[in-house]
């Protein structure tokens, strides 16, 4: 089983979700790519564009007089929550918060982790040892535990959640970047650039970065799924995005108290969260299969 320890530690082990290449595999795989892309377009469109162009009520500040309206109530497609906020609006705005955090965390991972990993592999020697030992220490913490400790220190809030989660996304990306850079470093065009007298930074930026970026982006889609789940966990525990602003995680936490009477307040945000994670996982998986050939 050729699995990198760092990937397991970060909870991002590549597991083949699509069928193996034999038989109808290729069809299923390209089907997975199209399906997951379509799903993501719908999810992102609903969360980021619909509230701008459509008439979606505010996700907070609802009136208690409107509380607990059932699904399909006039003006409230998915009803309202126990304090009278429109449930659909909360789902959309909540998704926006969750996806924003996930995007920022993975962007930080690609940039910082990619830089650290590529630098470690390309320069090698002491720098490599120092960077990798430091990242080993970060990976030694169970991701949620470290994120909890940092989020607690910084206090709840969207930006703080991003920093807390970046603490484990950066080492994971750095691992991938390092492994890929080690491969690319041996390719003839890097030697050619070195012989032509290019500077280190130029080789890193112009020759190595474009070649490791596809792997990092593929990894980022799997990372998006994990980040959405972890952001949900932090918000669920009250250390992520603070109420009354919605996020899928804190919506699930609020729904927990009325789970036995009205399970829809748990099920709706849970379904949205799972759908997004499935889409990210499928896309990451399909892309990886594509790169692998």
Partner 1 sequence: MSSLGAQIHVGPLERARDRLARLGGPPALRFAGRRLLTAIPVLWGVTLLTFIAMNSLPGDAAQELLGANATPAEVHQLELKLGLDKPFIDRYWHWFTGILHGSFGHSLASGQSVIGILGADLPITLELIAYSLVVSLVLAIPLALVCARWPNRVADKLSLGVSMVGLSIANYVLALILVYLFAVKLNVLPAIGWTPPGQSVGGNLKSLTLPALSIGLPLFCFYTRLLRADLLEHMQSEEYVVTARAKGAGPWRVLIRHALRNSVFGLITIVALNLGALLGATVIIEDIFGLPGMGHELLSAINTRDVPVVEGAVLIFAVMVVAANFLADLLYSLLDPRIRYGGSAG
Token pair, residue 11, equals: 């909870």
Q: How far is the CB of 51 from partner 1 (least distance, A)?
A: 24
Pick from 104, 96, 83: nearest CA to 56? 96
DSSP run (H or E) holding 74: none
Look at residues 163, 191, 173, 167 and name the one whose alpha carbon lies nearest to residue 118.
173
Nearer to partner 1, 104 or 233 (CB): 233
Q: Which is nearer to partner 1, 212 or 279 (CB)?
A: 279
Least spacing, CB of residue 19 vs partner 1, in Å: 6
Residue 290 CA from chain centroid, whole number: 20
At its nearest, how many Å lie between partner 1 and the CB of residue 219? 16
Rounded least distance, CB 280 to partner 1, Å? 8
CB atoms within 10 A of CB 63: 10
Nearer to partner 1, 61 or 124 (CB): 124
Helix (H, G, I), strand (E, B) or coil at 173: helix
Q: What phi and psi values does residue 97 have, to the nearest 5 degrees?
A: -60, -45
- As a whole number of angstroms, the distance between CA 129 and CA 137 comes to 12
Question: At closest approach, how far in Å is the CB of 270 from partner 1?
Answer: 4
Structure tokens at 170: 């950066």
- Between 61 and 263, CB nearer to partner 1: 263
* C-beta of residue 179 within 8 angstroms of C-beta of residue 3: no
| Interface contacts to partner 1, rule CB under 8 A | 1, 3, 5, 8-11, 13, 15-17, 19-20, 22-23, 125-126, 129, 133-134, 136-146, 148-150, 152-155, 225, 229, 232-233, 236-237, 239, 252, 255-256, 259-260, 263, 266-267, 270, 273-274, 277-278, 281-282
Least distance between partner 1 and beta carbon 236 (Å): 6
The three-state secondary structure class of 86 is strand
Q: Which is nearer to partner 1, 78 or 230 (CB)?
A: 230
Tokens of 209: 């970065």
CB 241 within 8 A of CB 157: yes
Q: Which is nearer to partner 1, 80 or 281 (CB)?
A: 281
């Amino acid at each position: 089983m050729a699995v990198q320890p760092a990937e397991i530690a970060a909870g991002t082990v590549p597991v083949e979700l699509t069928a193996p290449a034999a038989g109808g595999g290729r069809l299923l795989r390209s089907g997975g790519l199209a399906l997951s892309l379509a799903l993501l377009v719908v999810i992102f469109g609903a969360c980021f564009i619909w509230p701008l162009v459509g008439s979606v009520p505010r996700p907070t500040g609802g009136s208690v007089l409107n509380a607990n309206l059932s699904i399909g109530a006039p003006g409230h497609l998915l009803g309202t929550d126990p304090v009278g906020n429109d449930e659909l609006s909360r789902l959309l705005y909540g998704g926006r918060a969750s996806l924003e955090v996930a995007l920022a965390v993975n962007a930080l991972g690609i940039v910082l982790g990619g830089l650290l990993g590529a630098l470690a592999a390309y320069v090698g020697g002491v720098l490599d040892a120092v960077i990798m030992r430091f990242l080993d220490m970060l990976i030694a913490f169970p991701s949620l535990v470290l994120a909890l400790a940092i989020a607690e220190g910084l206090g709840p809030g969207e930006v703080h959640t991003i920093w807390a989660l970046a603490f484990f996304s950066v080492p994971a990306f750095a691992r991938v970047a390092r492994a890929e850079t080690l491969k690319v470093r041996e390719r003839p065009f890097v030697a050619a650039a070195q012989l032509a007298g290019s500077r280190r930074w130029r080789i890193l930026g112009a020759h190595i970065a474009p070649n490791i970026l596809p792997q990092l982006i593929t990894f980022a889609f799997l990372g998006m799924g994990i980040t959405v789940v972890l952001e949900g966990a932090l918000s669920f525990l009250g250390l992520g995005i603070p109420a009354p602003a919605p996020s899928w995680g804190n919506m699930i936490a609020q729904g927990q108290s009325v789970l036995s009477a009205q399970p829809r307040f748990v099920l709706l945000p849970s379904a949205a969260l799972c759908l997004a994670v499935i889409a990210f996982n499928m896309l990451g998986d399909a892309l990886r299969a594509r790169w692998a050939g």
